[in-house]
Amino acid sequence: MASAAHDVKILLKGLVSSSSQGLQEIDLQERFHLIKELGSGGHGSVLLVEDKETNQKMALKIMEKKRTSKRQFLIEFSLSSYLSSHPNIIRSFDMAFKTQDHFVFGLEAAPVGDLSSIIVRNVGLPEDNVKRCAMQISSALEFIAEKGLVHMDIKCKNILVFDQECHCVKITDFGLTGMKGTVIRSKSGSTSYRAPEMCELTGQEELAVDSTLDVWSFGVLLYCLITGKFPWKVATDKDKRFSRFVAWQNNHCDDPPASWNKLPTCLQRMFGCLLAVDYSQRSKPTEVLCYMEESWKTDSTYSTD
């Protein structure tokens, strides 16, 4: 894995260098028809546009220069390009440029949106849809890990959907992605998806980035898809639902917490692997493949308790 990370580091350095030299300034309104905004975040937005030259529809990720350095932009663009060969990672077009105030690169557009837009609150998604998502996302995460990389922000909003039955879903947004082994000192990713070792990080502590962080987030995401709600707000002792989960996992209590007891026993075992509090005991994302023949939902799964 160290060799893979080293090779990727060298490759990305070359991609960043070559992309930097060809970064032209383009007028967005002259080149594209704006269709609608697909989403926005702390560093910019994503727009659905049509290229006036080719009539091709695409998504443009637009990042404000005042909040994003040129190097940060080029790294994210290079990572997107490098990883987009996987069928369940969003395809990046060979199109990166700048405007007066923004950095921009092109991506394929997802016609349905992201997973958060189709989850039914307190119900989730149909079982077959969840299993399709699980298989595809686990494959993409395994691919990312094999490259010595960690996504660092796996969540429903970062899984794009190409059909209502989830036959095709793809991971997107590599703005927080880092090399395995990189040391960080501040929290990263969305609060409810963070692993406990990330949640406990303080300014005086360090955490080595590892693919087990993505596995934890993947586990939380699957719980959301199955139940239509989060298992907890934050993975710390201050959260009662998380504390009860930890006590159960550590065999301090025989019966699962109420919300987990509604899941089939096989899924309780699966989540015990994906959401192992001790990161060294966490499984690979492909652990989900061992449970595809089992039932993932029961009538009680849909309870709103």
> Would the pLDDT of 123 be above 90?
yes
pLDDT grade, residue 202 (50/70/90)?
A: confident
> Would you state the pLDDT for residue 18?
67
Together in a domain, 128 and 23: no
Together in a domain, 167 and 91: no
Together in a domain, 102 and 127: no
Report the CATH number at residue 25: 3.30.200.20
> Would the pLDDT of 87 be above 80?
yes
**pLDDT above 90: percentage of residues in the chain:** 81
Q: Catalytic annotation on 237?
A: no
User: Has residue 79 been placed in a domain?
Assistant: yes
Single out the residue in 88, 107, 126 at which a domain terminates. 107
Residue 293 neighbours by CB under 8 Å, 6+ apart = none
> Would you state the pLDDT for residue 203?
77
User: Has residue 304 been placed in a domain?
Assistant: no
Query: What is the rounded distance in angstroms from the CA atom of residue 265 to the CA atom of residue 16?
Result: 47
pLDDT grade, residue 302 (50/70/90)?
A: low
Of the two residues 205 and 163, the one the predictor is more confident about is 163
Average pLDDT, the chain: 91
> Would the pLDDT of 303 be above 70?
no
Single out the residue in 85, 107, 129 at which a domain terminates. 107
**Count of domains for the chain:** 2
Q: What is the mean pLDDT of residues 108-130?
A: 96
- Was 65 annotated as part of a binding site? no
pTM: 0.92
User: Has residue 187 been placed in a domain?
Assistant: yes
Query: What is the rounded distance in angstroms from the CA atom of residue 291 to the CA atom of residue 173?
Result: 28
Together in a domain, 82 and 206: no
> Would you state the pLDDT for residue 21?
67
Of the two residues 302 and 71, the one the predictor is more confident about is 71
Together in a domain, 79 and 122: no
Together in a domain, 176 and 76: no
Together in a domain, 200 and 240: yes
> Would you state the pLDDT for residue 73?
93
> Would you state the pLDDT for residue 40?
83
User: Has residue 305 been placed in a domain?
Assistant: no
Single out the residue in 107, 130, 154 at which a domain terminates. 107
DSSP string, 137-195: HHHHHHHHHHTTEE-S--SGGGEEESSTT-SSEEE---SS-EETT-EE-S--S-GGG--
Tell me 124's DSSP state. Answer: B
> Would you state the pLDDT for residue 67?
92
Together in a domain, 85 and 202: no
Alpha helices in the chain (DSSP H): 2-21, 28-31, 70-83, 127-146, 196-199, 212-227, 240-249, 258-261, 265-274
DSSP string, 250-266: TTSSSSPPHHHHTS-HH
Together in a domain, 78 and 210: no
Together in a domain, 176 and 274: yes
Q: What is the mean pLDDT of residues 247-268?
A: 88
Report the CATH number at residue 218: 1.10.510.10
Together in a domain, 103 and 120: no
> Would the pLDDT of 304 be above 70?
no
pLDDT grade, residue 3 (50/70/90)?
A: low
Together in a domain, 87 and 132: no
Query: What is the rounded distance in angstroms from the CA atom of residue 110 to the CA atom of residue 91?
Result: 10
Q: Which residues span the domain enclosing 262?
A: 113-299
Summarised one tens digit per residue, pLDDT across range 150-178 is 999 999 999 999 999 999 999 999 999 99
> Would you state the pLDDT for residue 137?
98
User: Has residue 241 been placed in a domain?
Assistant: yes
Query: What is the rounded distance in angstroms from the CA atom of residue 137 to the CA atom of residue 139?
Result: 5
pLDDT grade, residue 111 (50/70/90)?
A: very high
User: Has residue 53 been placed in a domain?
Assistant: yes
User: Active site residue: 7, 27, 153, 299, which one?
Assistant: 153
**pLDDT above 70: percentage of residues in the chain:** 91
